[in-house]
Structure 1
């Protein structure tokens, strides 16, 4: 099957602690999902985990096909664990396939939606162990507040500041929470109003089209909040093509830690940027390593949130690009985050900030 041809077994060594498959919803060339896989590879190397990565290329059917292919493997060749992101609430279709095959599963990056009828981990689907989410609401809040504060500095005399919002999609839980964080920032700011909110499915070209409509209807926006970097770039391209002659350029924000986004922040083209959440998969791998070694994470909660996001500034953006050039995370010792290997640890925690000092 063509899909199986893109499966890659990485970091081959004579003995492995466990085998894990990461069903990566994104595209292989996307900076965020590429970094997520690279960080997981680095963690797998440190922990001696056999890791396979399957890219679904943002196609829901490919995710389902990959799950069916894993379930159809002979028992001896099935992975010990499967990690996947609940993008577009696909967990409701993936869990029956994998759980029915007796494969232990774990949601990372985007866990169960608040309104998703799949029950709780280890209940209806007993092999679904739990989830680890980056604090997506905090990312939306931080970037929106950074935009608002800069808008106030730029126009202190203005009584009401306008914000346009371009979200990812209304189904993926992490997308919903990013947008919720943005709305919370607007609600807390009496001098700010969100005049329009659209969705662009995380896609740069679609964001260009959405922004064209937005800028026609709202010709002089002060702020454009975007749920990821690609959508921010799409809106920026539209403004440069159609609207730069109007006068003041709006402030743009994004979420992700791609080199392009970090450079845009450093150059002043992005006013606000949060990132670091690509590390969620690597931390999920640490948790599953501990689980396999007899240290269950259930004592900390089956659905956990990781405060992994940081709000970059130009200095930390440049340091990040220098320290992790080429998405090389081999300098991080992921063994230090394991509760099995470090019994004094009480919880799982990861932050880039100490690494960027």
Structure 2
């Protein structure tokens, strides 16, 4: 298949030898161009593409599922098809993207949210029906939600018999698998701690403003709140703003936990406004490009731990790691040599070392 060389190659500074063709990749980013998590996600992918000599284009859907479908249709059925389409099963769009891809010749790869068990039942045996779906990489969202609440409870400390700890929880979108898994993990931790009372769980839609509006009401309703669990950093910041306006001091009166290692979240951890932070999953798109690069080079990625894989990227970040991650964000290409992670020419025992530790070297 003809590989289209996009203008973005020039902006990424990829040097091509005459006659060489760069594998073209389109990433349908479900977030917005001003959302810290999805911006850092894109930057990490661009660093990987530059390193690996791939032609990467990124389109944002602004969290509107119809936009994702429209962008997928143009990419998969239009005249300028990429070699690879990377996308997220945000708001359950995957089955429709798979349908649009049939017969397109474009290879697909899912990141962050893969097919849900219900979707897999409906779709049936994938290998026969969708041979162009190469695989998926997802984080340990359920464990992330669990670890966050467990650490918040540990930091709070024990309470006297008969006393309880009031908890508020802010989840993302009901129709996003990652939000569901994180919430499930939070409830697993809750079941282990009867002294913690979940006063209310609300869906902040991943946004600061929505969570702020919800928190203003909830802090009035539950003034004894001492733990706040947030499925991402943006919502945590909105809730913190409402808490400060109500006269509270984050990290003192109430302990806040969040997921995502945006610079603002890392700084909030260092300032002790955030007590618990998990992150590392902004790297998934970059790791996916390593696998697509290998596939393009004829490597059977399934032999090296590829295909469908959950990576334990979400882990508790301490303050030393927060400083390291802040410095890394300023480093050229995040300081990662993506070529070194390739499975090309490796023995059968090699496994892709995708982890936060790989990043922290």
Q: TM-score, normalised by structure 1?
A: 0.90
Question: How far apart, CA to CA, are the structure 2 residues paired with 1:156 and 1:274?
Answer: 29
Of the three residues 148, 151, 165, the one matched with 1:146 is: 151
Aligned CA RMSD, in angstroms, stands at 2.6
For 2:3, the equivalent position in structure 1 comes to none
- Higher alpha-carbon deviation: 101-110 or 262-271: 101-110
Question: How far apart, CA to CA, are the structure 1 residues paired with 2:300 and 2:239?
Answer: 44
Verify: 1:338 aligned to 2:342, yes or no: yes
For 1:200, the equivalent position in structure 2 comes to 204
CA contact (8 A) 2:9 2:55 kept: no
CA contact (8 A) 2:263 2:326 kept: yes
Verify: 1:97 aligned to 2:100, yes or no: yes
Of the three residues 12, 15, 25, the one matched with 1:13 is: 15
Structure 1 residues 214-264: Cα deviation after superposition (integer angstroms, max 9, x where no partner): 22321211101000000001111111113439x962111110011100000
Stretches of structure 2 lacking an aligned partner (at least 5 in a row) = 1-5
**Secondary structure of the structure 2 residue equivalent to 1:29:** coil
Question: How far apart, CA to CA, are the structure 1 residues paired with 2:103 and 2:64?
Answer: 23
**Secondary structure of the structure 2 residue equivalent to 1:171:** coil
Give the drift of 1:333: 0.5
Q: How many positions carry a matched residue from both structures? A: 349
CA contact (8 A) 2:8 2:55 kept: no
Question: How far apart, CA to CA, are the structure 2 residues paired with 1:165 and 1:123?
Answer: 41
Of the three residues 22, 31, 37, the one matched with 1:32 is: 37
**Secondary structure of the structure 1 residue equivalent to 2:253:** coil
Q: TM-score, normalised by structure 2?
A: 0.89
Give the drift of 1:8: 9.6
Question: How far apart, CA to CA, are the structure 2 residues paired with 1:216 and 1:307?
Answer: 37
Structure 1 residues 309-343: Cα deviation after superposition (integer angstroms, max 9, x where no partner): 231111211121112227x5342011122111534
For 1:44, the equivalent position in structure 2 comes to 49
**Secondary structure of the structure 2 residue equivalent to 1:324:** helix
Structure 1 residues 96-138: Cα deviation after superposition (integer angstroms, max 9, x where no partner): 1123423111110111122223345434323222211011112
Of the three residues 111, 118, 123, the one matched with 2:123 is: 118
CA contact (8 A) 2:152 2:255 kept: yes
